[in-house]
Structure formats: C-alpha cells, structure tokens
Chain A
Amino acid sequence: MKTLLMIGTLMLTLNSFAQSSIEATSATTLSPFATATRLMETALVSSLAPFGSTIATVQRRGVAGKEQLKDELVSLNDDMLSGKVKTIDQVRQPALRELLLEIEADEAQLTSINSVITEGSKLHRIATAVTVSLLAN
C-alpha cells in the first residue's frame, strides 16, 4: 500500500507538467473540446463563472475520479464521431454517464451552462462544460 501511496504522491507532485498535459490533451479527445478551448481562450475568467457548480461537481470526484473521466472522454469521442451516441442516455462510459446525468438533473447548473454554450445538442453542451471543468482544475 505504501508503495502505491508513494506512487500516487509522486504522480501528484512530479507531474505538474503532466497534469496540465493530461488536462489539455485528454480534453481534445472530446468533440466539444474546441468549444471548450475557445471559451477558455477568449474570456477565461468571465466564462468560468457559469461553470462554478460543474467544476465543483467534477472536483468532488477526487484525483482518480477525474482521471477516470478523462480516460472515458476518449471513447466517448469515438462513440460521438461514429454517430453511435447522440444523447446522454446513450453514453456507455459509467463515470461520464453519471456525471452528465447529474448535471442534466440540476436545472440551475444546466441554465448556467446554456447561458454560455449556445450551440449543439444537450449532450454537446454538458460535455463541453465538463471539458472546461477538467481544463480548469
């Protein structure tokens, strides 16, 4: 366990560069990535405010939970590109599906997201917000 703990800590401490790499690179794997990066680049501070609760929702998952979300974004992207997945109900990645459903059920959170991301389906808009949140932390 200790070795595992050490590895975990090393990953936390040493990979300050890798973390940012992870965040940025995994986010590109999502179709909504471009929307997310555009938002981040054009109006960084003001555009993050509406994602406050989404960031908190993502943050609650802990380090490993966020890593799992990033991993699942890769296959979700494949599913979206192939046209297999068009709605949240169809998402087959468990951690992402849970998160997307949780955000979908939260009206206030959804309204905040819709105020910033105006294009694309509900899946696209929420997935973009998740991407922004993963980029932000």
Chain B
Amino acid sequence: MLRWFALPVFIFCLRSQAAVIEINGPFFLKEVLSETLQLLPSNYLDSINGKIRIESAALKSDQFLSSDDLCRVNTDVTYGFTKKNLIVISSRLIELASDQERVFSCGHKSFRNLLKAVMVHELTHVKDNQEKISSDPDFQRIMGIKRVTRNTRASVMNQNLTSSPDPYEFQNLQESLAVNAEYLVLDPEFECRKPATANYLSRKLGIPLKGQCEKNHHVIVQSAFMEDNYQLPVSINPARIYQIHYLFAGKGKALMSRWGHAMFRLIVCAPFRKVAGPECLDDVSYHLALSYRASITDLNINYLKGATGEYPSQLFVLRYLEVQQEYTKFELRDLFSVPLKMTKFQKSEFLDLTLERYWTYQGKYYFLDNNCGTETLKHLQFALSSSEENLISSLTPLRIFSDILKHNEVLADENLQGLSREQMIEKRFLAPSMFSEIYASYHFLQNYIPDFKEKSLESFIEKTNASDRLRVYESLLSNISSLNMIEQKQLAIKLSHFERYLAGRFLMELPKKAMQQMDKDPELKAEVLEMGQGLKLLSLQPWQVVRSRYGVPLKPEFESSFDSFSQTRESKVNASIEAQMNNLQKILGKNYFKKELTEIEGLKKIKLLTLDFINQTRHYFNPKEDL
C-alpha cells in the first residue's frame, strides 16, 4: 500500500502539442504520457484553450484496485476523471502500471496500456468539452440514442454488455466517445470490431486507422422458421452488394402496424456473379432484409412494456423472401422496395453500421418514439450527407417513404415518380399483397360453387369452416364430368391454391387462440409456457451464437464459433421441434380446442379430396398441347 508514495513525484510540463500539459505526479506518469501523446495526432489538443493539468491522486475507489489481475477488477472502479482542464488519475493505477508487466486477455490487456487508455479517455473528454463531438448527430446515431439531442449526458440505449469492450461506454454520449477513443488508439482490432465507430472517430479525431486486422463481413441470417434460423452465413461485403433499398410494408391491422413497417433490402449478388451490377436484382433468393424489431420473448405482446421501452430493439437480418411472405401473404400488405441513391462511400458506411448493429446493438423499443421507423431513419441518416438527411424529416415508415419519393431525384436511384401501381409492380418496386391472387382463386371457385356466396373474401373466411367446404367440394366433384379437361385442371389448381391459403391462415391463428385461453386454465398455461421454453433456440442472439472478444467477431472467432454451433444445431432443432409437437398435442387435447381439432380433421379430408382430384386431372395433361 505504501509503495506508490515511494515513487518520485515531479511537476513538469510537456509541450508536444499546441496545448501545454502540466504534470503533477511520478516520473513514470510523464513517461507513459509521452508514449500516449505519440499515439495521438499532433493537433489532437489544438482546440484546447489554456493549460491541461494532470495529477495523480488517491481516489475513493482505489480500495477496489487491490487485485493485480486486470480481468478481475471491479467494474465500478474509477481510474481517473476530468474537471474542465484538470485530469486526475488514480495513483493506485499508476503504481500497478509501473510494477506490473503481465499481459491479460481482457480489456486493454495490461495495466500500462490501461493507464494510457485512461489518458486518452480523459484527454478526449477535455477535447470533447471544447469541440462537442459527442453531440454530433452522426455520433449519436452510431451509439444509439432515442432521438438526436444536444444533451451529451443523454443515456445511450444500447445495453448489450456482452458485445461491448467496456460497458462504461453506455453511461452517456460523453463516455461513449471517450471509451471508444481509447480503443481506437490502443486496439488494432477495434476498426474491425466496431467499423462504423472506428471510421467515424478516425475522421473526427484525426486518428488514422491501423489496417492491421481483417474485417469479417459475415452475418448469420435469422428466421422465424427454426430450421432456417442461424443456418446461413452471408457476407455483406459492399463489393457484393449492388444496391440498398428502402423496404416499406404498407399499413397493417395490428395497433403497432398502422404506420407501416420500415426496413431495408440489400441487393446481395449471387455468388456466381463476377461483378455487382443490375443483374443482381434478379438474385432474389440472396437478397436480405434488415428489420429493426422489438425482440419479444413474452408469449403475448404487452403493450405497456412496449410503450415504456422494456422490449429490446434489435436489427434482424432476414432473407428478403421470408419478409415478402410475411407481409404480402400472411398479412396481405403491399411491400415497396425503393432503390436508394448512395455513393460507394455511403454504401460502405451503411454496411459498416449494419455489421456493428447486428453484432452489438440491443436498444430499447418504444412503440411510439423508438420504433422501426425511427431506428431505420437513424440508420439511413448516418449514411446520408447532412443536406440529404434533411430531406427526410418524418419519423413514420409511410412518411419516410413519401419523403423519399418526393425527393426522388436526390434520394432514389430510379425514377419512381408518376408510376402507376401496375408499373411499380412491373418494375419490381412493389411486391403486391397476395390478396388479389387469393381472391382470384376464390372468385374462380364461385363460378362453380353456388355456396360460396360471400362477395367479400374476408367475410367468407370468417364464416367458413372446413367441414362445410368439404361437403360442397364433394358435391362439386361428383358432377365434374360435365366440365372440359382444361376447366377441370384449372379448377384443381384454384381449389388447391385457395385451400392452401386457408390452411396456412388457420394454423397461424391457432397460437393466438391458445394464448387467449391460457389465462383461464393454469394447466394450459403451463403447457403453453413449456412450449415457449422449447422455442429458446429461436430467441438466440447473434453474440450468443458466435462469441467474440467484443463487437463484430473477427474471422477466426467467427469460423471456430460458428462451426461448433452448427455441429450441434441440427440435433437441437430436431429435439426442439419434437418437444413442441408433444406440447402442441397436449394443448390441442384440451376441451377448448374441440372446434379447432374438428377443423384440422376437415382440412385433412380436404387435402385427400384435393389429391384425388389432382390425380384425376393429371391424366388430361399433355405438355405439347399446353406449351
């Protein structure tokens, strides 16, 4: 305990920069400060008026610095602080840095490096006090704040401690700046682990990137289908991405869908393409959707929690076709895809932020003011120039869409103005709701089935049940011989299309029904909750699938971690599906679900009948005639 008092104490000045730094502390402090200043650009402190004083002092939390194991230091320890131009550094830290040469696997890896980090951290505070970097809108957008503010003490929403180099960065914007500056200066891997932050700070602080690491551009595609979730790694290297689109789902029926849903679509090129060009627009199965959503682990959405930020807000990376199915088929919503005009640099910035968000971000979702619209807009505005970002002032997905169309010539890569709905479909700016296709099948069937009287498809669906439909189909097929071959084949096609939709829709409604009933029956609730447990595999976070030191995993981390995850994944998925089947059987065995079981039986019979019908019609097939 006494040893650090034995260190010689000097007062001296350094003038390696424009600012004068006066040091009141041991000689060792000067030595480390000199080394630290060499890591900073010569103009780093140019903006500082007057002298900067650095002092060593015994701080209250020094008592927690008893361990000489860097990785076991209490996270609440204060190593230093800044008050205007005065920087105070823990004398205990100085002692440890002076005595300890051990290299650790965590944080800044040695006490000497930690001392340098504290210096960078505090000097950055002094710089920030003058230059207000932490209030820069782009910095705020990277860090993840609810709304861009002048208040640099505003808290940062990201609470993902696992992926952070130092959770102290989440304290507020000022600390975010200082912590990230430490790592930019001292950690050669930082620019690969937090590429958007590193690029931004490098430009803003004048600290050159080191170029000593290899960036890993991979994300692992997430999915609502267990067998596809975290199954496919995809590179979002800018060189393989032709365009970035604003992807907008029109308004839906649910409370939180009334303003539409805002997303992005990455036009990822198929691996066989040599260059990223317009042909990549055809590679739809490779395209990705980026979607900010509330990560909800409750079985039922709790609107109060949604209003108070208790659900995490995360960036999900999904296959574009899955998103198209979700909106155009299951929710019968239009899906607009507007190519954004971006320079090569902007595209790269956008994708760096995407990587960083995917691997590190877990903010707070507020249904009203930090939702898909605001998160998407902040992501986009980060990549746009300030004159471009001012063109989008709205926060709702629909209005963002309108603003992009309104300023089409600046923001969009194609001219969408004045296009009719049909033209938008033809040019693939719009994937329309599948309603008209399903309605066309229903309408076709109406010509043959007098019982299908409802004009509105929705009211038909509300009233119909499988047993009734089975009866009318049986009657129809018993008199089918009066129809010609082409008619019969068309009837089979439309009937199967329509029934496939009805079966899917019925199955989608089932979980909702189970949840509505579960509060009335503890036994049922237990079954439903147990099934929720079986879905844990779907709730995995990217940083749980691939472990990294922090931030975006580097290539070796990604490869070894994802390999070992993949090896056990399939058996876990199978076990989970089997467990859920058992749960589901128990749930459907309850009295409440007699009607649903009858419906399932009816659907099974319709399936058999449809297959039989298909077998009859196939004899009439003649490829030469058809083609």
Binding site for B on A (CB under 8 A): 1-15, 17-18, 20-22, 24-26, 28-29, 31-35, 37-38, 60-65, 67-68, 70-71, 74-75, 77, 80-81, 86, 94-95, 97-99, 101-102, 105, 119-121, 123-124
Contacts and interface: CB of A to CB of B under 8 A. Distances in A.
A62 B500 contact: no
A97 B321 CA distance: 14
Interface string B348-370: 00000000000000000000000
B340 interface: no
B223 interface: yes
Contact of B614 (A28, A75, A94): A28
A82 B441 CA distance: 16
A4 B326 contact: yes
B614 A64 contact: no
Given A6-B511, A9-B580, A14-B510, A119 B624 contact: yes
B618 A9 contact: no
B255 to A, nearest CB: 13
Question: When A and B form their complex, which 5 residue pairs have the shortest distance between CB atoms, in order from nearest?
Answer: A34-B621, A25-B496, A8-B224, A64-B322, A120-B623
Interface string B507-544: 11011000000000000000000011001001100000
Contact of B500 (A1, A26, A101, A120): A26
A1 B607 contact: no
A1 B497 contact: no
B295 A1 contact: yes
Interface in B177-212: none
B230 to A, nearest CB: 12
A22 B282 CA distance: 26
11 contacts: A1-B294, A2-B539, A9-B225, A10-B508, A13-B581, A29-B493, A60-B285, A64-B319, A71-B329, A95-B285, A97-B282
Contact of B225 (A8, A34, A37, A81): A8
Nearest to A5: B538
B282 A6 contact: no
Given A3-B296, A18-B503, A24-B496, 7 more contacts: A2-B298, A6-B531, A25-B496, A26-B497, A31-B623, A37-B618, A63-B228
Binding site of B, secondary structure by majority: helix, strand, loop or mixed? Answer: helix
Contacts of B492: 28
Interface residues of B, number: 75
A9 B535 contact: yes
A5 B535 contact: yes
A12 B226 contact: yes
Contacts of A22: 500, 503-504
B470 interface: no
Contacts of B301: 3
Contacts of A5: 224, 226, 535, 538-539
A38 B296 CA distance: 46
Report which residue of B224, B617, B624 has the largest number of chain A beta carbons within 10 angstroms of its beta carbon: B224
Contact of B507 (A15, A77, A102): A15
A8 B539 CA distance: 13
A3 B511 contact: yes
B223 A8 contact: yes
A77 B623 CA distance: 12
Contacts of A31: 621, 623, 626-627
Contact of A120 (B293, B507, B624): B624
Contacts of A124: 623, 626-627
Contacts of B623: 31-32, 34-35, 119-120, 124
B284 interface: yes
A120 B321 CA distance: 30
A65 B627 contact: no
Contact of A18 (B284, B295, B507, B577): B507
A121 B620 CA distance: 18
B627 A94 contact: no
Interface in B282-307: 282-285, 293-301
Contacts of A2: 295-299, 535, 538-539
A64 B539 CA distance: 19
A82 B293 CA distance: 42
B315 to A, nearest CB: 12
Given A24-B611, A26-B496, A63-B228, A123 B627 contact: yes
B135 interface: no
B132 to A, nearest CB: 37
Given A1-B295, A64-B225, A28 B500 contact: no
Interface string B124-166: 0000000000000000000000000000000000000000000
Given A24-B614, A25-B614, A68-B324, A62 B228 contact: yes
